[in-house]
Amino acid sequence: MRPDSKAKIAFELNGEPVEVAFAPHKTLLEVLREDLALTGTKHGCELGECGTCTVLLDGAPVLSCLVLGLACERRRVKTVEGLAQGSRLHPLQEAFAALGAAQCGYCTPAFLLTADALLADNPSPNRDDIKQALSGNLCRCTGYIKIYEAVELAAARLRGEKAEPARESLYGRR
Amino acid sequence: MLRLPSFKYLQPKTLKEALAMKADAGPDGMYVAGGTDLYPNMKRRHQEPRTVISLMAIPELKRLEGWNVGTCVTLTELSNLPTFQHSYPAVAHAAALVSTPLLRNMGTLGGNLCLDTRCNYYDQTYEWRKAIDFCMKKDGHICWVAPSSPRCWAVSSSDVAPVAVAIGAEFLLVGPQGERVIPAGRFYHNDGINYLTKQPDEILVEVRLPAPDGWDAVYHKLRRRGSFDFPVLGVAAWVRREGGRVTDARIVLGGVASWPQEIPEAAAALRDGELGDDAIAAAAAAAYRPAKPLDNTDFDLSWRKQMTRVYVKAALEELRQRRG
Q: B152-193: per-residue pLDDT in tens?
A: 999 999 999 999 999 999 999 999 999 999 999 999 999 999
pLDDT at B231 > cutoff 70:
yes
- Shortest distance between the Cα of B255 and any Cα of chain A, in A, equals 19
Inter-chain contact B35–A46, Cβ cutoff 8 Å? no
Task: With residue B246 as reference, give the H or E element that holds it.
Answer: strand B245-254
Q: Do A2 and B8 touch (CB under 8 A)?
A: yes
- Topology at the third CATH level for domain B60-208: 3.30.465
User: Of all residues in chain A, what percent carry a pLDDT higher than 70?
Assistant: 98
> Is A110 in the same domain as A161?
yes
CATH 3.30.365.10 fits B1-57, yes or no: no
Find all residues with CB under 8 Å of A37, minimum gap 6, and list them: none
Query: Interface pTM (ipTM) of the complex?
Result: 0.95
What confidence tens digit (pLDDT) does each residue in B2-61 have? 999 999 999 999 999 999 999 999 999 999 999 999 999 999 999 999 999 999 999 999
Asked if B1 reaches chain A (Cβ–Cβ under 8 Å), the answer is: yes
Residues of B in contact with A75 (CB under 8 A): none
Residues A16 and A70 in one domain: yes
**Is residue A2 assigned to a domain?**
no
A51: domain range?
Answer: 7-80
Continuous segment of H or E residues that includes residue A97: helix A91-99
**CATH code at A126?**
1.10.150.120
Q: How far is A161 from chain B (nearest CA, A)?
A: 28
Give the residue from B254, B264, B273 showing the smallest Cα distance to B311. Answer: B254
Give the distance, in angstroms, between the CA of residue B155 and the centroid of all CA atoms in the same chain.
10
Residues A106 and A44 in one domain: no
- Would you call B44 an interface residue with chain A, using a CB distance cutoff of 8 Å? yes
Give domain status of residue A85, yes or no.
no
Choose the mutation target among B37, B98, B100 for the interface with A, i.e. most A CBs under 10 Å: B100
Residues A56 and A122 in one domain: no
Label residue A5 by pLDDT band (50, 70, 90). Answer: confident
- For B113, other C-beta atoms within 10 Å of its C-beta total 23
| Whole-number Å distance between alpha carbons of B97 and B78 | 12
Mean pLDDT score of chain B:
96
Specify whether A98 is located in the same domain as A71. Answer: no
Q: Is A1 within the bounds of a domain?
A: no
Structure confidence at residue A29 as a pLDDT band (50, 70, 90) = very high
Output the pLDDT for position A1. 53
CATH fold of B215-323: Enolase-like; domain 1 (3.30.390)
Looking at residue A2, its pLDDT comes to 57
Rg of chain B, C-alpha, whole Å? 20
Q: Which residues pair with A88 in a beta bridge?
A: A85
Q: pLDDT value at position A167?
A: 86
CATH code of A18's domain: 3.10.20.30
Average pLDDT, chain A: 95
Spatial CA neighbour of A80 closest among A119, A121, A46, A116: A116
From A61, A80, A99, the end of a domain falls on: A80
Locate the domains of chain B by residue range: 1-57, 60-208, 215-323
- Among A24, A48, A80, residue at a domain's last position: A80
Query: Mean pLDDT over residues A105-111, rounded?
Result: 98
Q: Does the global pTM surpass 0.90?
A: yes
What's the Cα-to-Cα distance from B66 to each of B160, B210, B212, rounded to whole Å? 19, 10, 11
Same domain, A162 and A97: yes
Write the CB contacts of B110 (distance below 8 Å, at least 6 apart in sequence): B33, B55, B61, B71, B72, B204, B207
Quick check: helix, strand or coil at residue B189? coil
Q: Would you place residue B244 in the very low, low, confident or very high pLDDT band (cuts 50, 70, 90)?
A: confident
Q: Based on the domain organization, do A22 and A45 belong to the same domain?
A: yes
Residue A72 carries which DSSP code? Answer: G
Q: CB contact, 8 Å: A90 with chain B?
A: no
Domain annotation covers residue A145? yes
Q: Are A126 and A157 in a shared domain?
A: yes
A16-23 mean pLDDT: 97
Q: How many Å apart are CA B194 and CA B93, to the nearest integer?
A: 28
Question: Same structural domain for residues A19 and A66?
Answer: yes
CB contact under 8 A, B100 and A51: yes
pLDDT digits (tens, 9 = 90+) for A48-83: 999 999 999 999 999 999 999 999 999 999 999 999
User: A72 and A13 in one domain?
Assistant: yes
Residues from chain A that touch B118, judged by Cβ atoms under 8 A, are none
The answer to whether B117 and B191 have CB atoms below 8 angstroms apart is no
**Are A72 and A22 members of one domain?**
yes
List of chain A residues whose C-beta atoms are within 8 Å of the C-beta of residue B124: none
- Tell me if B101 and A23 make a contact (CB, 8 A cut-off): no
What is the pLDDT at residue A171? 85
Report d(CA B5, CA B39) in Å as an integer. 10
Tell me whether strands B8-10 and B51-54 are parallel, antiparallel or unpaired. Answer: parallel
Residue B221 pLDDT grade (very low, low, confident, very high; cuts 50, 70, 90) = very high
Confidence check: pLDDT of A3 > 80: no
Taking alpha carbons only, the member of A76, A67, A83 closest to residue A28 is A67
Cα angle B46, A139, B227; round to 5: 60
Q: CB-CB: which of B2, B8, B100 is closest to A46?
A: B2
- B250 to chain A, closest Cα gap in Å: 31
Among A34, A51, A80, the domain-final residue is: A80
C-alpha distances in Å from residue A146, one per residue of A117, A119, A164, B55, B169: 19, 17, 14, 40, 44
